[in-house]
Amino acid sequence: MNKVNDFLPRSVQTLLLMFLIFGGLYFSAGFLTPVALAGILAMLFLPFSRWMEKKGVNRTVAAVICVLTLILMVAGFVFLVSWRVSNLQANLDQIEQQFNKYLGQVQNYINDSFGVSKQQQDQMLKKQGTSGAGSAATYAAGFAATLLGSLTTTILMLIYVFLFINSRAHFKKFILKLVKPEDQANTKHIISQTTEVAQNYVSGLAKMIFCLWIMYSIGFSVIGVNNAIFFAILCGTLEIIPFVGNITGTGLTVLMALAQGGGSSMVISVLITYGLVQFIQSYILQPLVVGKDVDVNPLFTIMVLVLGEAVWGVGGMVLAIPVLGMVKIVCDHIEPLKPYGYLIGNGDEGKKEKPLAEKIKSWFK
């Protein structure tokens, strides 16, 4: 009876602690999200910084070069997307015509099925638009505030990346001071493993996105989708947000196929291309490029994505999997937390490599 009485308060305290942690994460999302993203990016550029330091470059200078490299990469991607968007604008009239055509078909269906005339539907849409609409000045002010906030967040992220790379030894010594001297060797190993997991995941994800660009470009070009390269880049880049991103990109491509008058055959072809690319990604690219560094149970992968979106929005979904992989590493190396590391991971099944991936790997040896 005493054991039960002792267990219940501990369980309640644990639940209360978890509630407070996630509540704190939710309310501090504006502050913590750019810090966490900067931390992952700093881990990604850490090998590059170490390589420059071995060549005799000062650590501060190396950190500045890493930040400038990041800016150039982002600027190059933005230029590529904007270049394709400018080409997309040439087809806006055709897209608008097709959209109005399908909208008219939908209105006719609603009129025939529910008896709501087109005039009534137009009035409902106008009321819906005017009821929540504000003045042009309000929209302009909101857009300016959003743009300014995004710019401020981006600048802060770059500053954080620079400071994380430049002051990494200081942070590492701080963590080592928190543990007992006999546990410092294990702590150093945990730090090394978690950093490696983040590096491998982000770099592998970047390589996989590049491969997806190529495959989607070939598939959409063969199908005949207008601005195939733009939609290939869109679908591949949205892979940053697991599960949700690629479905969203494919949905937009389907809408483009309908807008250009492709019909059901083109839509089916786009869906077949999506399924084929997802098969190649799951059974070939994922094991070969990303690898098994983030060995997490699929159930917890989905749960942490939902939780990340609820707590930090899109940024939480981007950070969810690498952070969960880092948590698993910590749990695997701390004795009281090992059961949780086993629960989060794939267990003994995770050690069995997929036969297809193993066979393909043997081709490159």
pLDDT digits (tens, 9 = 90+) for 118-176: 776 666 666 655 444 444 455 555 555 666 667 788 888 889 999 999 888 888 888 88
- pLDDT greater at residue 359 or residue 43: 43
188 lies in some domain: no
Can you tell me the mean pLDDT for 44-58?
A: 88
Report yes or no on 218 lying in a domain.
no
pLDDT at 273: 87
**How many separate domains does the chain show?**
1
Q: Report how far residue 21's alpha carbon sits from residue 226's, in angstroms, rounded to the nearest whole number.
A: 47
In the block, tokens 């990340």 appear at: 308
For tokens 């060995």, the residue is 295
pTM exceeding 0.85: no
Minimum mean pLDDT range among 56-70, 166-180, 239-253: 239-253
Q: What is the CA radius of gyration of the chain?
A: 25
In a domain, 286, yes or no: no
The closest alpha carbon to 308, from 324, 320, 290, belongs to 320
Domain that holds residue 167: 30-107+146-178
| In-domain check, residue 237 | no
- Dig out the tokens for 259 from the structure: 């807008």
Q: In whole angstroms, what is the distance from residue 20 CA to residue 335 CA?
A: 25
Residue 101 in domain: yes
**Residue 258 lies inside a defined structural domain of this protein:** no
- Residue 80, domain member (yes or no): yes
Q: Which residue has the higher pLDDT, 86 or 71?
A: 71
Winning range, highest mean pLDDT, from 24-33, 81-90, 96-105, 351-360: 24-33
Task: Tell me if residue 262 falls in helix, strand or coil.
Answer: coil
CA 66 to chain centre: 21
CA 64, 70, 75, 80: dihedral to nearest 10 degrees?
150
Q: Of 96 and 6, which is predicted with more confidence? A: 96
C-alpha dihedral sign at 123, 129, 134, 140: negative
Q: Is residue 333 part of a domain?
A: no
What integer pLDDT is reported at residue 162 of this predicted model? 92
282/175 Cα distance (integer angstroms): 37
